[in-house]
Amino acid sequence: MKRKGLMTIVLAACITMTSVFSGCSSKTADTSKDNGKITIKFLHRWPMEPNKSFLDKVVADYEKANPNIKIDMQSVANDSYKEKIKVILGTADAPDVFFSWSGEFMYKFVRENKLYDLTTALNQDGWKDTLMESQLKPFTLDNKTYGTPYSVDGKVFFYNTKIFKDNGLEVPKTWDEFIKVCDTLKSKGITPIAYGNQAPWASAHYIGTLNQKVVAEDVRTKDYNAATGEFTDSGYVEALKKYQQLIPYFNANSNAIKHDQARMNWANGKAAMIYCETQEVGEVQKLQGKDFQWGMFKFPDITDGKGDQSKLTGAPEGFVISANTKHPKEAIAFLKYLTGKEVGLKEVKEIGILNGMKGIYDTTNADAKVIEAANLINSAKDIVYWLDTDLNTKLVNVYLSETQLLTSGETTPEKMMQKIQQTAKVVKNETK
């Protein structure tokens, strides 16, 4: 009897211990330095082509050139990235070097001291002078810079030059000319603008540009700042009304189609224009048919708008370093390589993306379309950031969901701005 009791207890103890220990892993050891090799954790947002293979190769080249460094690379796609990065930064497993959009998206991490200050490193060895100032500004807060650009971007209209020629249309320079072009196309049975807003960031780009062109610059800057935002200016309602003017010219069911599908429809000649990022040049070139002719033009000027017409909507994307990195020197070296000249030249040639370095492209390594895009970006006096990474997340949520309703005609600009104003009040109270 006694032996049976002892067996029972021993067995139970075994069960408990195996179940507890099977859950444990040896994460507590500092695995970042073994065999004298230093491991840098690297996280980016492109698990898809063409960036994925490109970065795979960049990392492989770097590891070959620096045998004592190992890069542990991971990637998470766009929308999931925005969610995952916030959680991962709160853990001890935060990556050393990781992707970030510029503007408010990055600033909120700066405020929580999650990012490594690169200002000193940038001032050494003339690193700062090799980068375009206008593209470093979005990564700077309170005169301290926290990131460097991997790709500069601008939002422009891509248009089918054949459709325009066949219908005797010229590139519109003003809003009224633009509406006339849309009218003509619609009357000929051609869908003027391809638009996919199922993932609602697409509308944020339209509204962002309209806000910037219609609302006076100082009012808009004050409102976009979470601590002082009110959104009471009538210009915001005006901007939404201009968006409403475009709705009849979009393809049907825009809330049910994703941006990539809209872009494919446009590249197949089913629509005349599409509002795209210059970053997408490479992707369009992969999609298009051999005879597809296209060009780009800037968002038309709104002549009675109080905002700055010369600025371009777009913000650089780049990489930052975690404030808690155990290997700042190595991380900085990798960052310098990742956003530097050698990779930059390959970026332009292989995937049609421009990074933030000065003089990175010319006719020898860049394709005509990439040069066209680069010139458009350079000719803009300054850039205005994306609405959905520049505003506080709560405001972004309201803007995105309400614009979907606006697009299907289920709300009005006035009602929408009322909701925005209420949310702005809440955000203002929370930001100290």
Residue 97 Rama label (left phi>0; alpha psi -120 to 50; beta):
beta
Q: What is the x/- site pattern for another protein, positions 1-40, by CB under 8 A?
A: xx-xx--xx-xx--xx--xx--------------------
Q: Closest approach of Cβ 22 to another protein, in Å? A: 11
Q: Does residue 255 interact with another protein by CB under 8 A? A: yes
Cis peptide before 316 (omega within 30 of 0): no
In this structure, how many other beta carbons lie within 10 angstroms of the beta carbon of residue 162? 14
Distance, CA of 208 to CA of 297 (rounded, Å): 17
Q: Closest approach of Cβ 200 to another protein, in Å? A: 7
- Residue 405 contacts residue 411 (beta carbons within 8 Å): yes
Q: Which token pair is 271? A: 């629509």
Q: Does residue 45 interact with another protein by CB under 8 A? A: no
**Pick 254 or 313: Cβ nearer another protein:** 254
Q: What is the x/- site pattern for another protein, positions 192-211, by CB under 8 A?
A: ------xxx-----------
Using CB under 8 A, which of the segments 234-242, 249-257, 282-290, 326-334 binds another protein?
Answer: 249-257
Q: Does residue 408 interact with another protein by CB under 8 A? A: yes
First to last CA, the chain: 70
State how beta strands 97-101 and 37-44 pair.
Answer: parallel
Q: Does residue 248 interact with another protein by CB under 8 A? A: no
Using CB under 8 A, which of the segments 34-42, 109-117, 272-280, 329-337 binds another protein?
Answer: 109-117
The single-letter code of the amino acid at 375 is N
Q: Does residue 154 interact with another protein by CB under 8 A? A: no
323 CB-contact burial (10 Å; exposed 0-12 / middle 13-18 / buried 19+): middle
Q: Does residue 393 interact with another protein by CB under 8 A? A: yes
- Identify the residue among 144, 186, 394, 428 touching another protein (CB under 8 A): 394
Q: Closest approach of Cβ 47 to another protein, in Å? A: 16
Q: Considering CB under 8 A, how many residues would be counted as binding another protein?
A: 40
Q: Does residue 397 interact with another protein by CB under 8 A? A: yes
Torsion 136-389-281-295 (CA) sign = negative
Chain centroid to Cα 105, Å, comes to 10
Q: Does residue 70 interact with another protein by CB under 8 A? A: no
Q: How far is CA 330 from CA 37, 40, 327, 334, in A?
A: 11, 8, 6, 6
Q: Which helix (H) or strand (E) holds 267?
A: helix 259-267
Q: Does residue 418 interact with another protein by CB under 8 A? A: no
- Residue 308 contacts residue 214 (beta carbons within 8 Å): no
- Identify the residue among 129, 230, 410, 414 touching another protein (CB under 8 A): 410
Which positions touch another protein (CB under 8 A)?
Answer: 1-2, 4-5, 8-9, 11-12, 15-16, 19-20, 82-83, 86-87, 89-90, 109, 112, 114, 198-200, 252-257, 393-394, 397, 401-402, 404-405, 408, 410-411
